[in-house]
Amino acid sequence: MNLVVALLLAIESSCDETAVAIVRGSVGQATEVLASEISSQIPLHREHGGVVPELASRNHSLHLRGLVEKALADAGVAMGEIDAFAATTGPGLASSLLIGSTAAKGMACAARRPFLGINHLEGHLLSPFLDQTQVPPHTALIVSGGHTLLLDVEGPGRYQKLGSTRDDAAGEAYDKVGKMLGLPYPGGPEIEKVARGGNPRAYDFPRSMLHEPHLDFSFSGLKTAVLYTLQKEKGQLPLADLAASFQQAVIDILVQKTLRAAQQTGRRQIALSGGVSLNQALRQAFLVAGDRAGLEISVASPVFCTDNAAMIAFAALLRHLAGESSPLGGDIHPNLPLV
């Protein structure tokens, strides 16, 4: 098997996005994304106010084959040319993970090629460096609907947990507050839109654990503060001001905790990834804070912030080029930790 230049096909189906990507790369060279296909299920789940697992898995099954065929066509490669296959094996919804991992294993078995099971969080973690030749040492913040995680990264596969949320993830808090405000699901993008016309200092919401010596997060108190404010005012509030004040509290917590982590570890680079990292106010706050502190800020490209298969393919490619693979008999892990 030629490990100098490799073509890899990956599937991401951990939640409600069905995604397939094909990448090409070699040791020391920038990875090339030849195809990245995503079928979003947001419209299907919006009427339920959140993801319905059975509906998600059913639609993965409906769309996966077509996405694989389109990815191969767009990349201009045949199935027989793929050197390895990969899929997300956790964390995520069990019924959704099974669809993608089973399909990738089947293709790997039929083609007699290696299979790699990839941690969804590692995909996010490495996504800011997808178009680069290497992953440098840095402090990483993964911030999404299900996770808020601070890590010290020495290199691919060498991670140390610095802090995580003790209750709600930041993205989860966005969704729950969005529901309180009567905004459509998912709440994160909707709150960001509304917040653009508001005063971020109108309400002094709590910044939980901001001055604690540890690097863990908590957003449940902030969510509760928004609820109590709504109840006190009986809903007669400037929606834009409320959204902007909530968003500013989240941003202050994330930025200050992450900069403190970089200071403690001595890292000079911070990488931001995950669906919430699409938030433009958050990105700008990190860039400004990084500039003041003399730190380099790397943020995943917008197309690779939300769930996608290119990030899974990149993580798998690095492992494949290092000679690693996963057993075909391996199971999915819905609660799989990164470290």
pLDDT digits (tens, 9 = 90+) for 307-322: 999 999 999 999 999 9
pTM for the model: 0.95
> Is the model's pLDDT at 40 over the cut of 90?
no
Domain boundaries, the chain: 5-131+307-321, 138-300
CATH number, domain 5-131+307-321, options 2.160.10.10, 3.40.1280.10, 3.30.420.40, 3.40.50.620: 3.30.420.40
User: What Å distances lie between residue 328 and 44, 84, 313, CA to CA?
Assistant: 32, 12, 17
Residues facing residue 155 across a β-bridge: 158
Cβ partners under 8 Å of residue 235, min gap 6: none
The tokens describing 181, both together, are 């405000």
Same fold, 5-131+307-321 and 138-300: yes
Q: Can you point out the beta strands (E) in the chain? A: 5-12, 17-26, 32-40, 84-90, 115-119, 138-143, 148-155, 158-164, 269-273, 296-299
**CA-based nearest residue to 329, from 121, 118, 117:** 117
**CA-based nearest residue to 56, from 87, 93, 88:** 93
**CA-based nearest residue to 14, from 85, 71, 91:** 91
Average pLDDT in the chain: 95
Length of the chain, please? 339
Q: In this structure, how many other beta carbons lie within 10 angstroms of the beta carbon of residue 323?
A: 9
pLDDT at residue 151, rounded to an integer: 98
Cβ partners under 8 Å of residue 318, min gap 6: 126, 135, 156, 157
- The DSSP result for 139-208, as a single string, is EEEEESSS-EEEEEEEETTEEEEEEEBSS--HHHHHHHHHHHTTPPSSHHHHHHHHHTTS-TTSS----T
pLDDT digits (tens, 9 = 90+) for 245-300: 999 999 999 999 999 999 999 999 999 999 999 999 999 999 999 999 999 999 99
- Give the domain 138-300 fold: Nucleotidyltransferase; domain 5 (3.30.420)
